[in-house]
Structure 1
Amino acid sequence: MTNTDEIIEIENQDELNLAVRPVYMENDINVRIAKEQSSVFELLRREKRGDLILAPDFQRNDVWDLKHKSELIESILMGFPIPLIYLFENENGIRQVVDGKQRISALKAFLNNEFALTTLSMLPDLKGKTFDDIRPLSQAKLEDYQLHTYVIQPPTPEFVKFNIFERVNRSGISINKQEMRHALYQGKATDLLQVLAESTAFKLCTDNGVKPDRMRDRYLLLRFIAFYLLKAEQTPTTNIEYKSDIDSFLAATMAYLNEKASDELIQHITQTCLQGMHNIYQIIGDQAFRFDSKASAHKRPINIGLFEMLVFAFGHIELDKVNIEKAKNLIKEKKAYLDEQGIFGGSIDTIEHVTMRFNTALEITEGLTNA
């Protein structure tokens, strides 16, 4: 993760260092990358139909300035090559721009007469002209210009797509892994995370301590959802395994939510998470997911393990059937023990620690419901 909070889109000028073949297989990994070309007109028609997704919303709001846009149009009219565009294609044939959003957006805006060209070094006579103002021959040259693309296709595994995305976006200011997931898995998964992150329950129970910048809030909530699906009754429907690789696990969860999860399951997850956060706030307040301060008077940070464990434990509990004082004491007892043992202080993503975390959650639930 970078030390800066600025998030920018990378327009990579270099081709990915891959031997592009129809299918590459090694150690049972099947990677399919197709090299294609299509006209600007055809690519924009795909986008208009909804078959091409341009802008994942993790990226910065500001786009290329007028000079950059104008120089792109000039380069095409002069017949200069422009960098490769990288796309991901899902099982339904929907493609998503990984690298090239600014170029495609600039072309779309110009063809829609949304800006006029600025001063150009090679074609100065075009200054101040929109698409409708330039000659029909130049209009046709723009629309017919062939864009070269790499399309990462199914059945390429999710972790390979993730790795390719990271490599393509390696230069410049880096983005973190949750921002990459947010870019790659737009759909029901990102909508669900937005609903939960913007909920009153989340803000109250975390004391607004998990900021939305760099997708920290989405990361915390996605982890809960992924482990909930793994550990709760929904497990048989997901076919998602956990092998101590948290990045692949979270990516697979988002892909599952987008492509296979029913609306009923999405609603169930939403309700469970909201109820768990609401319940824990009513019992403990806004410091539930922090261990008690020790020598320092400063608050300790929100603890990921505590969040997952306690929201899981209270996701299906009805507060009116619970002895609040007993629940409060039980939570404090468990937190004190976990803090003393340092269980949530180091690596929490080993299979052993994950099992321990959710076994403790079940102990809390059973201790309250069997009272």
Structure 2
Amino acid sequence: MIEADDAIEIENQDELELTAHPHQMGTDTQIRIAKEQSSIFELLRKESRGDLVLAPDFQRKNVWDRKHQSELIESILMGIPIPLIYLFEDEEGIRQIIDGKQRITALKQFKNNKFTLTNLSMLPDLKGKKFDDIAPILQAKLEDYQLHSYVIQPPTPEYVKFNIFERVNRGGINLNKQEMRHALYQGNATTLIQELAESQQFKLATGNGVKPNRMRDRYLVLRFVAFYLLITGQLKDSSIQYKSDVDAFLASVMKYLNTKSSVQLIDNAQKACLYGMEGAYQVLGDEAFRFKSKDGGNRRPVNMGLFEMLVFAFCHIDYTQLDNTKSKLLVNTYKESVDEVGLFSGSIDTTEYVRARFDTAQKITQGLKNA
């Protein structure tokens, strides 16, 4: 069960479930999925060259132990078929393992003599041996073993890739959507949101109330970065728009940050987020992104919409020049008002609600300047 302080209020609760993507494919949608096979030797050689990327772990508790790794090696040496590998290929030809990471990691580690075989039921004579210790004929059998894979290739649209990723993972790890984005869009975007989520400003402003498990913290800062860049017009040289589909929007922004954005734009986003969080904390303390408890009830969790609104408001003002008493009163009045009318309850990601959220943020900025 998620404790109140570990949660993010409202919309992100959908992040913990895998749901059908809202997009409906048109007749002109191009989906390209190639079926391939390659030897373990070839696959590991591609990985060593950087042409194949092993995404970081999502949940460490799901990493295979030595027993599972040894059973995989034993199965291959016995010629038993193992499940399909799923790969995504980007426009540069770089491939990323989406389903099959644990298998490839086990093969890589064994090939590099990182562990000895254990708990073998069918080939007990190999127990306690590393790759270099097994007979050359078995080494060759392992390296020559053919792995079958499906490769999702360009120009398959991003939302189709996301949907495929959902379907593949339903029977396995059950990744939430932020964990899937983290896997699909490795690069500048994932580095940026990791640094923001691990920053002292984030921890102070949220009162350490957003835990890193299931990447809730990264989801929170990613949303701010994406909407900040959109509202401030810094995505104008792209085709990115917002049409009430937050998953497609966040995916597009992450891809843009990875492939097309300047270093200056990423730096702008980082500074805005850090400065906005610091300003909110200095004026409002660690309750900045929480609504007041109702009727003396439990402390309410960090609210996603409130985080976006207030970080945006404070990133546009010199908080060091504010009268903290007047400023806190003004912001709390706005917080009570939006809470009372339910601006951040229910679905907050329609274009109307997004516009209302950042219109209110701009009013708060103006109010603070005049306070």
In the other structure, the counterpart of 2:17 is: none
In the other structure, the counterpart of 1:303 is: 303
Give the structure-1-normalised TM-score.
Answer: 0.89
Classify 1:328/1:120 alpha carbon distance in 2 versus 1 (closer, same or farther; 3 Å). Answer: closer
Q: Which runs of 5+ in 2 are unaligned?
A: 7-24
Divergent runs of 4+, >4 A: none
In the other structure, the counterpart of 2:84 is: 84
Cα distance, 1:217 vs. partner? Answer: 0.8
Q: Where does 1:191-340 land on structure 2 (aligned, <5 Å)? A: 191-340=191-340
In the other structure, the counterpart of 2:14 is: none
Amino acid at match of 2:226: A
Cα distance, 1:32 vs. partner? Answer: 0.9
In the other structure, the counterpart of 2:42 is: 42
In the other structure, the counterpart of 2:128 is: 128
Alpha-carbon distance in 1 for matches of 2:97, 2:67: 23
Q: Where does 1:54-203 land on structure 2 (aligned, <5 Å)? A: 54-60=54-60, 63-172=63-172, 174-203=174-203
Does the alignment pair 1:355 with 2:361?
no
Alpha-carbon distance in 1 for matches of 2:349, 2:136: 60
Alpha-carbon distance in 2 for matches of 1:128, 1:369: 70
Alpha-carbon distance in 2 for matches of 1:290, 1:199: 19
Q: Which runs of 5+ in 1 are unaligned?
A: 6-24
Alpha-carbon distance in 2 for matches of 1:62, 1:351: 37
Classify 1:264/1:110 alpha carbon distance in 2 versus 1 (closer, same or farther; 3 Å). Answer: same
Structure 2 counterpart SS, 1:82: coil
The C-alpha deviation readout for 1:233-268, integer Å capped at 9, x for no partner, is: 303034211111111111112111111222211111
Amino acid at match of 1:296: G
Q: Percent identity?
A: 67
Alignment RMSD (CA, Å): 2.1
Alpha-carbon distance in 1 for matches of 2:200, 2:66: 40
Alpha-carbon distance in 2 for matches of 1:342, 1:54: 43
Task: Indicate conservation of the 8 Å contact 2:229/2:235, yes or no.
Answer: yes
Amino acid at match of 2:145: Y
Cα distance, 1:175 vs. partner? Answer: 2.1
Structure 2 counterpart SS, 1:345: coil
Structure 2 counterpart SS, 1:150: strand
Structure 1 counterpart SS, 2:33: strand
In the other structure, the counterpart of 1:13 is: none
Q: Which has the higher contact order (CA 8 A, sep 6+)?
A: 2
The C-alpha deviation readout for 1:37-65, integer Å capped at 9, x for no partner, is: 11111111111111111132323256323
Give the structure-2-normalised TM-score.
Answer: 0.89
Amino acid at match of 1:81: P
In the other structure, the counterpart of 1:9 is: none
Task: Indicate conservation of the 8 Å contact 2:57/2:63, yes or no.
Answer: no
Amino acid at match of 2:157: P
The C-alpha deviation readout for 1:164-195, integer Å capped at 9, x for no partner, is: 11111112452211111112212211111111
